[in-house]
Amino acid sequence: MKHLQEDAVLLRILIGESDRWEHRPLYEALVLKIRELGLAGATVLRSPMGFGANSLIHTSKILQLSMDLPVVIEVVDAAEKIDGFLPVLDDMLGGGLVTMENVKVIHYRAEKDKAEHPRDSAS
């Protein structure tokens, strides 16, 4: 069972949906690498609108349909594990924005086996 300490770090990676790493979407490559390295988890969020360092608006509006919508990857783990991932991230990342902030983990666990702990049991 994985354990995540209460005091942790949130790593937030903001990139474009069309960014690539070795012929696959960068967000996908990053999540697979994060998993391979044994970090606690990662979530990819696709945004309907945003702009970055180049000030170009990226939007999902029909009249201005962008092929490069903003993507956010969030990773939460112990500071040491996040710090260990940063050189890998630096090698994979072209443009984008990366931020880190301290967070307090309230809840982190896998869903219990439904066969062992049925939620709707007759009493």
Tens of pLDDT, residue by residue over 55-85, are 666 666 555 555 678 999 999 999 999 999 9
Q: How far is CA 5 from the centre of its chain?
A: 19
Length of the chain: 123
Tens of pLDDT, residue by residue over 18-60, are 899 999 999 999 999 999 999 999 999 998 777 777 766 666 6
Model pTM score: 0.79
Domain range list for the chain: 7-104
Q: How far is CA 68 from the centre of its chain?
A: 17
Fold of 7-104: Alpha-Beta Plaits (3.30.70)
